[in-house]
Amino acid sequence: MSDILMAPEAANPPRAITEKTLTDALLYLNGVSVTFDGFRALNALSFTVDAGEMRAIIGPNGAGKTTMMDVITGKTRPDIGEVFFNGGTTDLTKLDETEIATLGIGRKFQKPTVFESHMVIDNLRLALKGQRGALANIFRRETGEERDKIDAIFETIRLSDHRYRLGGALSHGQKQWLEIGMLLAQDPKLLLVDEPVAGMTDAETAQTAELLRAINANGHSVVVVEHDMTFVRDLGVRVMCLHEGSVLAEGTLDQVSANERVIEVYLGR
Amino acid sequence: MSHPDTTPGARPPALLGTQGAIFLAIVLGAAVLIPALNLLTPAGSALHVPTYLVSLLGKYLCYALLAMSVDLIWGYVGILSLGQGAFFALGGYAMGMYLMRQIGTRGVYGDPVLPDFMVFLNWKQLPWFWYGFDWFPFAALMVLVAPGALALVFGWFAFRSRVTGVYLSIITQAMTFALLLAFFRNDMGFGGNNGLTDFKDILGFNVQADGTRAVLFALSALALAFGYVLCRYLVRSHFGKVLIAIRDAEARVRFTGYRAENYKLVAFVVSACLAGVAGALYVPQVGIINPSEFSPANSIEIIVWVAVGGRGTLAGAALGAVLVNYAKTYFTSGVLAPYWLFMLGGLFVAVTLFLPKGIVGTFLDWRSRHAEAEPDVPGATPKPVA
Amino acid sequence: MRLAAAFLAFALAVLTVVVSRPAMAGPYEDALAKFTTESYADTDEGLGLLATSGNPLAVDIVEALADGRLLFNADAKTVYVKKADGSLIDAATGQPATGVDEAALKPVRANNRVRRAIEAASGALSLMNPDPAKRLAAAQAVFKSRDAAARPALETALSRESDPQVKAALASARAAIVLNDSASPEADRIAAVDTIAGAGNQDALALLQNVPADAPAGVKTAAASAVASIQHSLAIWDVAQNIWYGLSLGSVLLLAAIGLAITFGVMGVINMAHGEMVMLGAYVTFMVQEAIRTYDPGLFDASLIIAIPIAFLVTGLIGVVIERTVIRFLYGRPLETLLATWGISLILQQAIRTAFGPTNREVGAPSWMSGAFEIGHLSITYGRLWIIVFAGLVFLALLGTLRLTRIGLEMRAVTQNRRMAASMGIRTNWVDAMTFGLGSGIAGMAGVALSQIDNVSPNLGQSYIIDSFLVVVFGGVGNLWGTLVGAMSLGVANKLLEPYAGAVLGKIALLVIVILFIQKRPRGLFALKGRAIEA
Amino acid sequence: MLKLFSEPGRFAGRLVGRVAAGAAALALIGAAVPAKAEDTIKIGVLHSLSGTMAISETTLKDTVLFLVDEQNKKGGVLGKKIEAVVVDPASNWPLFAEKARELITKDKVAVVFGCWTSVSRKSVLPVFKELNSILFYPVQYEGEESERNVFYTGAAPNQQAIPAVDYLMSKDGGEVKRWVLAGTDYVYPRTTNKILEAYLKSKGVKDEDIMINYTPFGHSDWQTIVADIKKFGSAGKKTAVVSTINGDANVPFYKELGNQGIKATDIPVVAFSVGEEELAGIDTKPLVGHLAAWNYFQSIDTPENKAFIEKWHEYTKNPKRTTNDPMEATYIGFNAWVAAVEKVKSTDADKVIDALPGIKVPNLTGGTAEVLPNHHITKPVFIGEIEDNGQFDVVWKSKGLVPGDAWSDFLPGSKDLEADWVKLKCGNFNTVTKKCGGA
């Protein structure tokens, strides 16, 4: 718990983007702008995420949080700006969702989307890292370690008792977890998690925070978009505040929430 | 009706649930019994099945396979093809061309090579695309290749440019409509509106002989059984799970790293080939193939069969095809003849209103409500998609 | 030549303004005799003689023959003209006939051959008719017959003609004669070529292409160059003509599709019964016309105007009923709507078939919708013109309803966010019913227009449903402008393709083009931003 | 079948039972239509009552029922009442074959009256051959066929198309020099136009004076084509259109002719598929003078026709109901069959088929129709001009009767073929190879 709070990069002051960071940064956005007929969703957005880092992103509605995820996952193409992955080796703007996903970027949607008419276990089976080819999957058989992996994930997301229920039959919170579980199954380098605790009870929220920290602990980089400040506090990681499509402030939650302009934006003065 | 997966770490699910077993039992049973009753029992005996009925049922079975091919892509991938009739017809034409070539000099003009319709429109020689069809293996191959290739090209374009929903449905309809117009043209060399007919024999057997009919019936039944097992296997494989996932949340599937378009394409092509086989078996049994098989109305009717039987249940699709077509046969003769369209139309409205999941779908629901059990077929009762 | 002589004689007779006295037994009497033999050949001859006779009664006789009022008694070999009031006039004397056994009278029959003779004769006879329209017809008749002997008559007529249009017609008629008259000097004939070339239409072209072989070289070359220039200009006009055809086809597509743009485009109901709504509209037109024919034939020209609102109400009402009884249970399940409406369409078709019989019903065209006029060499038929206008009006009306009226606002609100709209106190059920009713009603109005150009049979709807869906999808579901542009571009494209590819291949090509286009723009021409109908 | 699905549990043990039950269920389908009493003679009526062809075929269904009614008033045939079995093949060609089979094998009808389109006839042919029954086909068609089990009471091309062209070439017809052959793209127009083309060329018409145009079924936008015809016709030579345009497409075609002001005096259109029934759907005032060639017109003034129309109106309780050529063909076919049955005192197919050639029955236009050895019949040919009342005014009539010719002399493929079911017992005897061609 505490060790994660004291995680080294959490204390670091905001850094300007330099060649050095480009090479070791896992994810690297530079001057990304996206415009939907007139409305600027992203405005010269630049930031980096390092390998193994967990980053929380806050910001009022329309700050461009979801658009940012769309850009990273290839759902939306930026008008200008560069998006690099793996220390600048891969240009994400050239790839489509599938390719980006196979590169190791997993995404959890704001509205939990699991495969409702599949059993929970099948949801995980589908997400499990491995063969993605259509023809090959016709004759695919489930291997022993795949089964073990799934069991492990079930442990992590605490849904072992629900494995044979239909995804659609789960509660909202359980769906959120299942979706996170599916992300784990994909075993991505980077998880993009959009409002994971929306509509969760406080208990569930706390558990989710723990879960994400655990995930981050065993080597996954995580970017969490969330409104819920207590949750962000629970995460206790570097926070970045977006506003009108660009970074407004960055630092620990306390630093950020102390920031004049952030307060202005939030309290709309 | 216990699901094979209820114990952790169970082996992959058995291929057939009870439902499938029953279905196969009936189909295979029919494949044996009907021809037997037709050939072995004397006419007039209570058990005798008249030849008329054999080829009628044979026709139903071809429709059943066709319906199943639609269910594979509509029920499990959410692709509503309003052009499935085109694949059926192409398979039928491939077979029809073989049968035409078999007529040889027995045509009314006694021309050894040219089919009659070419003679009286005084064509001089056989168009290139008719070559090879006198050789059965080639024709049989074309039964799969012609529809398969069309599906491959069409699907490749449509799926990778992510045409979905009604847009996809409408362009599939446009596709079959274009083919309808094309095959109507006598210049195309497929016999125009009259199509191909007056077949003599298939692999040396007279198509009109009772024996041949019985065999064709049995083959149709086997094809249906095979089609069922195939689809069943597909939808229960990892591949099939992805299909259902695509139906329910395509974007999610892409973000999970699957090439949704490839999965759709494979399913689409398989379904087209099944439809082609259905058409190929259909032609020798009804004795004619003509462009009306391409008409969009036909393709819509196929959808209706599936909906009546129960979408996403395979067996239901087949059942729906048989029931609706039997209703058609029954209503179109006798006193009801003038009113049969009322009944058919009424049936469709009633089913959509009162059995939205079709006969089998509704039944499965009813059963899983009573016997606490997971649905036997994954996604047996899909949420509405288009 | 006989006719020719006729024209000459008659023309002179008129010129010298001699009040011709009752003729003795002569050509006129012979002519009458010819009408009593029940042979088209004789009737033809009779018409010739009639004109030569120079008898003032001739005109009446020809007119009477034209509209079947010329009666004869085969045994008595007597001929009578039946007046509009039913009274009989003895053709021989021109005096009212009395004590005629009408039962023994038969009308003199006409076939195409006789009708042609009638046209020629009345043409020659009415070059001086006070009615300019008649004179114009006469001039054109002579232009067709190209009879050298009519030339003097023409020239006098020309010298007296005041109406420019008629004058031009007379001039080209004369030119046509001169051109083919080997007697007249080369200069005149070349001048004639120019006059004809001036007309620059198909007839002129035909005339110039068939210059007699014996014509002097000068004439031939002049004709040749004229032909070239005419062909060139006509080629350009052809494109314009095809575009016009395209627009009119487009307007038909628009009418057929625009109702669907509401039920399918806005509500997301895959409405297979849409075509039947159009069909019902056409049958309403038929019934309205039947009623008018039986009760007040005078109103016939207004029949369509009357039919439009009735069709709208009837089909709209049916639409509301369908929505309330079936569709409303199927919202959010677009495919189920496809099946249900397919069933409904079968039922409606068979219902009409049972009620009206399977055969076509006659829907007449009001006078203001028949005929054509020319702009340059662009021939425009009134029927098509009005349909285009009507389509435009319907489109604007619909646009207005959606944009400006309260119900329109509520419709858009409901389609964009049902629950929000409901929470704002909009009666979504009612709005749904109204929307579907509106769509159906508009389809009905389209039916009124389509009844003018297509079969009024139970199958009417089927022939439009596919094109309608194609138009809506091509234009972009849920966007009226898309439907407009889609319909028009498909129409024009079709008509521009047709001359080269032929009707069938053209259509096929168009379908393929649409399929490929959808690949490029999977949401149609005018993709709806934000929440498109994701059926 | 449903019930089978509702049985839960493992199936292996019950396999046998289920199969039996399944077979039973299927067998039920067979038993669906109960057998009828044998004191009547059954005849089949195979005309579409729904779908696109209902527009034309429904009338023929009524005609057969009307004729049966008349015949039964006279005591039926062989002292038995005739019972008509009506089915609806729904304009669906495979369904035609299915229904034909049903009529013959299940209802055991002695003869079938039916079909309109060539494709429906082609579709049922194999069935009639296989089950050796009789079909009376009442519609004018492309010829090029003569089957033992079929009797063609409609016109062959030489009984309709060629006389019409001859008429237009004559002085009365307007000495036409330039021809537009416009048709719907299917076998009948294709063949007819091939024949006409050959015939016109044999009459010295040049290629550039023949324009051939095909349109799809139900073609509704005729602007371009009518404009083309107009252009083609304004080349200074007398032009006519020979229309083999089928059913539904005619109404928009004629409406367009009217709109573009093509008068019969300028470019007459002679049609082979437009009868009183089709005209009922059009305002004929703009069409006066356009022609049609048939072997019967409602307007023909003979006592037989008067009586027929009177009874027809009585039967249909509709004094406006029109009659047309295919109706007369049905009338002839029906009476010919009755005569043949009475002659051989049996409804046995073989006997009747052999008896039919040579049978003479009165037609409605004052002549007699004789069934020929090639299973076609003799017919008079009439050419009528459309009148403003939707009827035809007969302007030409053939001298005497024209025998139907199964194989056209103007087609290379068929000029050597000859059909004779009496002497040669062959429908396509090749006079060159002296062999019977077909199977």
pLDDT higher than threshold 70 for residue B375 = no
D126 and D171 co-located in one domain: no
pLDDT at res. B377: 45
Q: Chains meeting D at 3+ CB pairs closer than 8 A?
A: B, C
Amino acid code (one letter) for D179: W
pLDDT at res. D41: 95
How far apart are the C-alpha atoms of D221 and C494, rounded to whole Å? 11
Pick the range with the lowest mean pLDDT from A151-160, B323-332, B370-379, D366-375. Answer: B370-379
Decide if B242 contacts B258 (C-beta within 8 A). Answer: yes
3-state helix, strand, coil in chain D (%, to 5): 40, 20, 40
Pick the range with the lowest mean pLDDT from B91-105, B230-244, C127-141. Answer: C127-141
pLDDT higher than threshold 90 for residue C206 = no
pLDDT higher than threshold 50 for residue D90 = yes
- Say what the pTM is: 0.88
How far apart are the C-alpha atoms of B62 and B274, rounded to whole Å? 10
Q: b/e for D420-439, b at 16 or more Cβ within 10 A?
A: bbeeeebbbbbeeeeebbbe
Q: Residue D181, SS3?
A: strand
Q: What is the pLDDT of residues C153-175, one digit of tens each?
A: 788 888 888 888 888 888 888 88
**Contacts with B, D 420-439, CB within 8 Å:** 427-428, 430, 433, 435, 437-439
The proportion of chain A whose per-residue pLDDT surpasses 90, expressed as a percent, equals 17
Q: Chains meeting C at 3+ CB pairs closer than 8 A?
A: B, D
Beta bridge partners, B196, equal B289
pLDDT higher than threshold 90 for residue B272 = yes
Could you tell me the pLDDT band of residue C86, with boundaries at 50, 70 and 90? confident
**Contacts with C, B 133-162, CB within 8 Å:** 157-158, 161-162
Nearest to C206 among D236, D258, D283 (CB): D236
Q: Which of B172, B324, B352 to mutate to test the interface with C (most CBs of C within 10 A)?
A: B352
- Segment holding B51, helix H or strand E: helix B51-77
3-state helix, strand, coil in chain C (%, to 5): 70, 5, 25
Q: Residue C506, SS3?
A: helix
User: Does C350 contact D50 at a Cβ distance shorter than 8 Å?
Assistant: yes
pLDDT higher than threshold 50 for residue D25 = no
Amino acid code (one letter) for C14: V
Cα end-to-end distance, chain D, whole Å:
43
Question: Closest approach of chain C CAs to the CA of D204, in angstroms?
Answer: 20
How far apart are the C-alpha atoms of A238 and B74, rounded to whole Å? 47
D103 and D176 co-located in one domain: no
- Segment holding C380, helix H or strand E: strand C378-381
User: How many C-beta atoms lie closer than 10 Å to residue B126's C-beta?
Assistant: 16
Q: Which of B156, B237, B252 to mutate to test the interface with A (most CBs of A within 10 A)?
A: B252
Note the ipTM here. 0.86
pLDDT at res. B279: 97
Nearest to B248 among A116, A137, A141 (CB): A116
pLDDT at res. C535: 29
User: Does B29 contact D105 at a Cβ distance shorter than 8 Å?
Assistant: no
DSSP secondary structure code for residue D419 in this structure: E
How far apart are the C-alpha atoms of C435 and C438, rounded to whole Å? 5
Strands laid side by side in the D40-46 sheet: D81-87, D40-46, D111-114, D135-137, D150-152
Pick the range with the lowest mean pLDDT from A8-17, A255-264, C85-94. Answer: A8-17
Could you tell me the pLDDT band of residue D29, with boundaries at 50, 70 and 90? very low
Give the dihedral sign, CA D395/D399/D403/D406.
negative
- Segment holding C274, helix H or strand E: helix C274-295
Q: What is the pLDDT of residues A44-71, one digit of tens each?
A: 898 889 888 999 998 887 788 888 998 9
pLDDT at res. B385: 39
Average pLDDT score over residue span C340-367: 90
pLDDT at res. D62: 94
- Structural domain count, chain A: 1
pLDDT higher than threshold 70 for residue A222 = yes
Q: What is the pLDDT of residues D346-403, one digit of tens each?
A: 999 999 999 999 999 999 999 999 999 999 999 999 999 998 888 999 999 998 999 9
Could you tell me the pLDDT band of residue B6, with boundaries at 50, 70 and 90? very low
* Residue A168 belongs to domain spanning: 2-267
pLDDT higher than threshold 90 for residue D124 = yes
Give the dihedral sign, CA A178/A183/A187/A190.
negative
pLDDT at res. D377: 96
Decide if C234 contacts C205 (C-beta within 8 A). Answer: yes
pLDDT higher than threshold 90 for residue C303 = yes
CA-wise closest residue to D257 among D214, D222, D217 = D222
Going by DSSP bridges, is the β-strand pair D210-215/D178-184 parallel, antiparallel, or unpaired?
parallel
Amino acid code (one letter) for D273: S
Nearest to C504 among D49, D185, D393 (CB): D185
CA-wise closest residue to C360 among D59, D168, D166 = D59
Q: What is the pLDDT of residues D201-219, one digit of tens each?
A: 999 999 999 999 998 888 8
**Contacts with A, B 6-65, CB within 8 Å:** 6, 8-9, 12
Q: What is the residue-wise DSSP string for B240-306?
A: HHHHHHHHHHHHHHHHTT--HHHHHHHHHHHHHHHHHHHHHHHHHHHSEE-GGGG-HHHHHHHHHHH
Q: What is the pLDDT of residues A72-118, one digit of tens each?
A: 998 888 889 889 998 878 889 889 899 999 999 999 888 888 999 89
D141 and D14 co-located in one domain: no
CA torsion C422-C425-C430-C435 (nearest 10°) is: -70
Task: Calculate the average pLDDT of chain C.
Answer: 85
Size (chain C), residues = 535
Q: Chains meeting A at 3+ CB pairs closer than 8 A?
A: B
Q: Is residue D399 part of a domain?
A: no
Q: b/e for D345-377, b at 16 or more Cβ within 10 A?
A: eebebeebbbbbbebebebbbebebbbbbbbbb
Going by DSSP bridges, is the β-strand pair D239-244/D178-184 parallel, antiparallel, or unpaired?
parallel
Chains C and B share 3 or more Cβ pairs within 8 Å: yes
pLDDT at res. D15: 40
Question: Closest approach of chain A CAs to the CA of B78, in angstroms?
Answer: 13
How far apart are the C-alpha atoms of C130 and C473, rounded to whole Å? 58
Q: Is residue C299 part of a domain?
A: yes
Q: Cα A25–A30–A36 angle (5° rounding)?
A: 130
Q: What is the pLDDT of residues C477-514, one digit of tens each?
A: 888 999 999 999 999 999 999 888 888 899 999 999 99
Decide if B321 contacts B277 (C-beta within 8 A). Answer: no
Average pLDDT score over residue span C467-483: 90
Could you tell me the pLDDT band of residue B11, with boundaries at 50, 70 and 90? very low
- Residue scoring higher pLDDT (C149 or A140): A140
D325 and D430 co-located in one domain: yes
CB < 8 Å to B306, chain C: none
How far apart are the C-alpha atoms of B241 and B238, rounded to whole Å? 5
The proportion of chain C whose per-residue pLDDT surpasses 90, expressed as a percent, equals 32
pLDDT at res. A230: 85
pLDDT at res. B302: 94
CA torsion C163-C165-C170-C171 (nearest 10°) is: 110
Q: b/e for D13-24, b at 16 or more Cβ within 10 A?
A: ebeeebbebbbe
- Structural domain count, chain C: 1
pLDDT at res. B379: 46
Q: What is the pLDDT of residues B152-183, one digit of tens each?
A: 999 999 999 999 888 899 999 999 999 999 99
How far apart are the C-alpha atoms of A97 and A105, rounded to whole Å? 9
Instruction: Write out the two tokens for D62.
Output: 């009524």
pLDDT at res. B87: 98
Q: Which of B171, B193, B306 to mutate to test the interface with C (most CBs of C within 10 A)?
A: B171
pLDDT at res. A1: 35
Amino acid code (one letter) for C188: D
Q: Is residue D283 part of a domain?
A: no
Could you tell me the pLDDT band of residue C49, with boundaries at 50, 70 and 90? confident
Could you tell me the pLDDT band of residue B365, with boundaries at 50, 70 and 90? confident
Q: Is residue C328 part of a domain?
A: yes
Cα end-to-end distance, chain A, whole Å:
36
Strands laid side by side in the A39-50 sheet: A39-50, A25-36, A80-85, A90-91
D315 and D258 co-located in one domain: no
Decide if B30 contacts B322 (C-beta within 8 A). Answer: no
**Looking at the complex, does the CB of residue D59 fall below 8 Å from at least one CB of chain B?**
no
**Contacts with A, B 233-252, CB within 8 Å:** 234, 237-239, 241-242, 244-245, 248-249, 251-252
D42 and D22 co-located in one domain: no
Average pLDDT score over residue span D184-190: 87
Cα end-to-end distance, chain C, whole Å:
74
Pick the range with the lowest mean pLDDT from B300-304, C28-32, C350-354, D141-145. Answer: C28-32
Count how many pairs of residues, chain B against chain D, have C-beta atoms within 8 Å: 210
Instruction: Write out the two tokens for C449.
Output: 């227009």
The CATH number that applies at residue D217 is: 3.40.50.2300
- Structural domain count, chain D: 3
Instruction: Write out the two tokens for C159.
Output: 């010298």
Q: Is residue D69 part of a domain?
A: yes
Instruction: Write out the two tokens for C115.
Output: 């009708």
pLDDT at res. D382: 95
pLDDT at res. C113: 85
Instruction: Write out the two tokens for B122.
Output: 């005084």
How far apart are the C-alpha atoms of C111 and D291, rounded to whole Å? 10
Could you tell me the pLDDT band of residue D27, with boundaries at 50, 70 and 90? very low
How far apart are the C-alpha atoms of D85 and D189, rounded to whole Å? 32
Q: Where are the alpha helices (DSSP H) in C329-427?
A: 334-356, 382-404, 406-416, 418-423
- Segment holding C518, helix H or strand E: helix C480-520
* Displacement of CA B146 from its chain's centroid (Å): 15
pLDDT at res. C101: 80
How far apart are the C-alpha atoms of D402 and D159, rounded to whole Å? 6
The CATH number that applies at residue A13 is: 3.40.50.300
Out of B77-86, C77-86, D14-23, the most confident range is B77-86
Task: Calculate the average pLDDT of chain D.
Answer: 87
The proportion of chain C whose per-residue pLDDT surpasses 70, expressed as a percent, equals 93
The proportion of chain D whose per-residue pLDDT surpasses 70, expressed as a percent, equals 91
How far apart are the C-alpha atoms of C97 and B133, rounded to whole Å? 81
User: Does C535 contact B165 at a Cβ distance shorter than 8 Å?
Assistant: yes
CA-wise closest residue to B158 among B147, B145, B176, B171 = B171
pLDDT at res. D284: 85
CB < 8 Å to A133, chain B: 259, 262
User: Does D256 contact C113 at a Cβ distance shorter than 8 Å?
Assistant: no
Give the burial class of C155: count Cβ atoms within 10 A of its Cβ; 0-12 exposed, 13-18 middle, 19 or more buried: middle
pLDDT at res. A268: 60
Strands (E), chain B: 196-197, 201-202, 205-206, 288-289
pLDDT at res. B14: 63
Q: Is residue D171 part of a domain?
A: yes
pLDDT at res. D53: 85
Q: What is the residue-wise DSSP string for C152-199?
A: HHHHHHHHH---HHHHHHHHHHHHHHHHT-TTS-HHHHHHHHHHHHHH
Q: What is the pLDDT of residues D312-362, one digit of tens each?
A: 999 999 998 999 999 999 999 999 999 999 999 999 999 999 999 999 999
Amino acid code (one letter) for C9: A
* Residue C421 belongs to domain spanning: 238-520
User: How many C-beta atoms lie closer than 10 Å to residue C104's C-beta?
Assistant: 13
Q: Is residue C6 part of a domain?
A: no
Q: Residue D292, SS3?
A: strand
* Residue D47 belongs to domain spanning: 38-156+300-378+421-439
Decide if D380 contacts D163 (C-beta within 8 A). Answer: no
The CATH number that applies at residue C399 is: 1.10.3470
Decide if B171 contacts C532 (C-beta within 8 A). Answer: no
Size (chain A), residues = 269
B27 vs B57, B60, B318, B376, CA distance in Å? 11, 12, 10, 20
- Segment holding B172, helix H or strand E: helix B165-184
D317 and D428 co-located in one domain: yes
Please name each of the domains of chain B with its CATH number.
16-370 (1.10.3470)
CB < 8 Å to D52, chain C: 459, 462
